[in-house]
Structure 1
């Protein structure tokens, strides 16, 4: 990076990101615009993504050296050194107060603060698009997407799922990835985080696309799909303009539907809002979330749904000391303190859920320091090989100490494919159940008829 001169008329832009929407927004809004220069992407939320470069192959001819990815923590210094004119927010699951704290830092440093709208950052498809998004991370998008895929396939439609980006490896190699078999997961060197989202689709016979270049991904997905199913990440907006926009709201975190970015925008844009986890939430919280959604978006149809949890082998858990592994982002920036694994373990009569924090190894110890709400549960922090080995080592330390008898895994991935566990591992699986069956299918039919 080099500081601009007064003779350079281009607008100098810094994109705040987390290795996902930031690249997408750049590709759509700035890559081919000679009137701007994107001086850097910043990185947060995801470990070990700063210090890399958005490669020239993806950045285009205006950026022959690529674009550096740097730590967001040095925001003010970066604005000053690079004489940044505009800072663009391009990541998700931020409290509204966090968004405005970022804006205040940017404004005080002398730059403009921009939050791009949906019109500039969505692509139009030649196929019908059904999008599943949420108000927060960990609401239940995964089981909802699988449920919707099943309903569409029952209508005889070819469904291709396109997953929100998780490009944690070689960005150029990950530009457009297609997953149909478990061998594809190995070939693309998928992390636990990626496997959590891709494996269930593959097991159901649904092809998945993901990567970095979502225009190219859309073209390839359209070639083999009757319907494109957008499988959202965090609480981000869809990258493709939906014909039916389904948004998940969470009564275990009442109020968050109106307090997080861009989750509130999702609610306001939604055609259909599913209030999930009604079987685990207090009735008054379900009612409060439903009332809040109706205030934010009176035109949206609102459905109540349960999120039943089943264990593969409840008898193996009854009366035993267990360590519970849950989806990582749900416990970290999703702010939850439990997930499907805890629900399943307690329902099965586990003697106790053992706190893994005293045995945490490496990056997991750092995770508990940063996200104290996760203490008591083991987040499946699998953004790379080192974190996967830390997860395995933490479980082994608990086994060696003699404090656990069973591992209960609430993550959608089959952990036995990526870690070695020396005690029985029981999977907790969760699904979506409509309280009024048939309404979601009817909404899908209406959208496709249009």
Structure 2
């Protein structure tokens, strides 16, 4: 497959795009002046940011990093740092494995199918699809698209985590938060049987094509391999794309999952995030449902710990909406999702009121990436509530590695 050269979208290159003179602040950074693309002499206001981000990557064993700032619903800045592969610098064409952020693309596909009347959020999936492992458990009748999108299926994250490798309920559906890739697999299979289309085709038709996303792959396709940022195992080796160094397992070509392993460029994910901000493909009622906290997590696992936070505000609710994690401040919400695996750490979020957003993709061994993420967020959004979250995870990881 041939890859078209992406157009770099920046505050200087985009006509009529206004930029902030400083870093993004979700609390109120707004455009100050229009900048025409016919004025190439205008300096890049993000030069200092790029220099600091580049140094952060170089000094912390991050192989590749991509980032974006979205201001008022427009791409204000994107950057790619480090190497895509040995001797090949990262660029706008670099594709990043975004891990569980893949679920947001699946969720947005479902919301568009809800909007066009193809499926209902609250219809039982059992008349169309019941996993063979659940045939003898009548609780499968309680499984709905809403339950899957809000991570309340009661499933484990993956069935292979169970002793017998079979899918089973750890909790009654709809009663509690149980983060689950299996829930998304279940929903995707249901959608396929309902529409008689592969889920990847539904993603292409309802999300990628309308937005104009071309540099992304939902399935394992060797045509994209030359552009995917190469992962580095702890011993410094490259185990292969979609491979795991600890056991040698590699996902097979042509396979896909709605829950993991999407590869996409920073520029194209920024287009996707802006589309979500604008609720493209569905109406305000679906948007309100998406941005409502339907299922709460255990308080200790909240993004903001209100009794100890340094963040300026405490949300009135926090937990999962439809496919996204939501911090609800009443007049505005911060909508987010993260992704992590042995070789990557990814984060994307936006403010529903200001339509400001941040994207950070880190290709590095997970512990190295976790050390960098709080600093990377600080560079792009100094007042972000996500900084404390990743600092907390870092402390927990360090404590686990050195319990003494």
Q: Greater strand share, 1 or 2? A: 1
Q: Which has the higher contact order (CA 8 A, sep 6+)?
A: 2
Interval containing the TM-score (normalised by the shorter chain): under 0.3
Q: Which has the larger radius of gyration?
A: 1
Q: TM-score, normalised by structure 1?
A: 0.24
Q: TM-score, normalised by structure 2?
A: 0.26
